Amino acid sequence: MVALPMKVLVTGGLGFIGSNFIRHLVSARPGWTIVNLDKQTYAGNPKNLAGLKVKTVKKDICDPKAVDAAMKGADYVVHFAAETHVDRSILDASAFIQTNVIGTQVLLDAALRHGVKRFLHVSTDEVYGSVATGHSVETDKLEPNSPYAASKAASDLLVRSYFVTHKAPVLTTRASNNYGPYQYPEKALPLMITNFMEDKPFPMYGDGRQVRDWLHAVDHARAILLVLEKGSLGEIYNVGGSFDCENRELISKVLSLMGKPSTLITPVEDRKGHDRRYALDCSKLLKLGFKHAYDFEKGLAETIEWYRKNEAWWRPLKVAGGYRTYLKKAYKK
Ligand code: NAD
Ligand code: DAU
């Protein structure tokens, strides 16, 4: 049994999954002290933690002094902070290398200095690359195909090396595509939901036959807490969802739930290096006792409803300068 920790440092808690994790932690472990270290990039939004009593330090994980101050007294670190959008990494990989690789190294060094008991690194199924058949297991070789995936694979290897070299008390989770409330509307699912709400088209990349596995962000949060408390140090745990499908099937589901016509699907040029299929073998996580709380049909309907009820959350994001500049770059017009 792991002793009850007094303090957990979360990085990237103003983002999509980090904020869902903090919300889950506040209710599942009410006695814990949570400090959130987040630079508040375009993807970080203080509204994601509205109403929660959590201290947020607005600093960069690449800044060793800021990390030292935030990590003081921390028993656990849960590391979400990252640049996360594949399309942006294709336009410019610099911030991805800086935050995802250098930032992780700065945090690992600080964790050693501070004697942190458990450091959980949140990673992704994209490090395995595209899998035509079967399911990726944690020992599979890494074949990242996008600059984003390569930066996450580099951070996974750094984490591994700190375990072997320094006996750092690390754990890594690799999750599939997350969905749920508070996801920045550049990602496929919130983009299609919010576009369809306005009767605007959704740009479907290529033939739309790429396969993704869908995991509710709250289930991801539950899995992370389980691995944090019960996982074996130095180990990696895949965290898959409860449903996988081709993108075109997902788009049809959303259209039908929202009562919108299929004419809103606009095929566009494919993403460069677009991975065809991700699929995870999650036996290791299931052996720890994990069970999904969300079935996809329920989770998707609730997510659509959340975006319907929370226009005040997403509308300003879609008209903000940074978002428009990114879209102009992406579509060259
Ligand atoms: P997000 O883009 O919504 O949020 C990222 C957060 O990190 C933001 O709050 C941002 O301000 C912060 N951040 C970025 N750079 C920083 C820096 N240098 N210093 C401090 N804070 C910084 O991301 P997300 O989708 O919630 O993903 C969180 C983590 O989960 C990432 O590590 C990602 O690789 C991983 N992951 C995401 C998914 C997914 O489907 N979204 C799936 C598997 C794994
Ligand atoms: O698999 C886990 C990964 O899932 C995470 O590590 C990443 O941080 C996260 O962004 C996500 O990556 P994807 O590239 O799979 O997600 P995205 O929402 O960008 O795209 C999902 C699928 O939809 C993908 O096959 C590309 C396609 N797509 C996406 C967009 C934005 C479109 O067809 N049109 C679009 O406009």
pLDDT digits (tens, 9 = 90+) for 100-147: 999 999 999 999 999 999 999 999 999 999 999 999 999 999 999 999
Question: What is the residue extent of each domain of the chain?
Answer: 7-179+215-239, 188-212+243-274+296-326
148 belongs to the catalytic site? yes
Residue 231 region, left (φ>0) first, then alpha (ψ -120 to 50), else beta? beta
Ligand 2 binding pocket mutation candidate from 99, 177, 249 (most atoms within 8 A of CB): 177
CA 109 to centroid of ligand 2, rounded, Å: 31
**34-64 residue pLDDT tens:** 999 999 999 999 999 999 989 999 999 999 9
| pLDDT value at residue 315 | 96
Query: Which protein residues are within 6 Å of ligand 2, measured from CB?
Result: 84-86, 124-126, 176-177, 187-188, 191, 203-205, 210, 212, 247, 271, 278
**Tokens encoding 238:** 């895949």
Q: What is the DSSP string of 185-233?
A: TTSHHHHHHHHHHTT--EEEETTS--EEEEEEHHHHHHHHHHHHHHSPT
Tell me which of 3.90.25.10, 3.40.50.1360, 3.40.50.300, 1.10.260.40 is the CATH number of domain 188-212+243-274+296-326: 3.90.25.10
Cα of 143 vs centre of ligand 1, distance in Å, is 21
Q: Which ligand is nearest to the CA of 277?
A: 2
Asked whether the whole model's pTM tops 0.85, one would answer: yes
Q: How far is the CA of 68 from the centre of ligand 1 (A)?
A: 20
Q: Is 76 a catalytic residue?
A: no
In this structure, what token pair is assigned to residue 19? 């904020």
Residue 2 has pLDDT above 60, yes or no: no
The residue annotated as part of the active site, out of 148, 182, 237, 294, is 148
Is the pLDDT score of 297 beyond 80? yes
Examine the residue annotation and report whether 198 is marked as an active-site residue of this protein.
no
Spatial strand order in the sheet of 170-175? 55-57, 33-37, 7-11, 76-79, 118-124, 170-175, 236-239
Token pair, residue 298, equals 């329920």
* Angstrom distances, CA of residue 269 to CA of 46, 151, 204, 205, 285: 34, 25, 8, 6, 37
Residue-wise pLDDT for 230-287, tens only, equals 999 999 999 999 899 999 999 999 999 999 999 999 999 999 999 999 999 999 999 9
- 58 alpha carbon to ligand 1 midpoint, in Å? 15
Residues with CB under 6 A from ligand 1: 11-12, 14-18, 38-41, 43-44, 60-62, 80-84, 99, 103, 122, 124, 152, 175, 177-178, 184
On the question of pLDDT at 333 being above 80, the answer is: no
Find out if CATH 2.40.50.140 is the number for domain 7-179+215-239. Answer: no
> What is the torsional sign of CA 54, 3, 12, 271?
negative
- Give the model's pLDDT for residue 281: 98
| Identical topology for domains 7-179+215-239 and 188-212+243-274+296-326 | no
Angstrom CA distances, 16 to 8, 11, 89, 184, stand at 18, 12, 18, 7
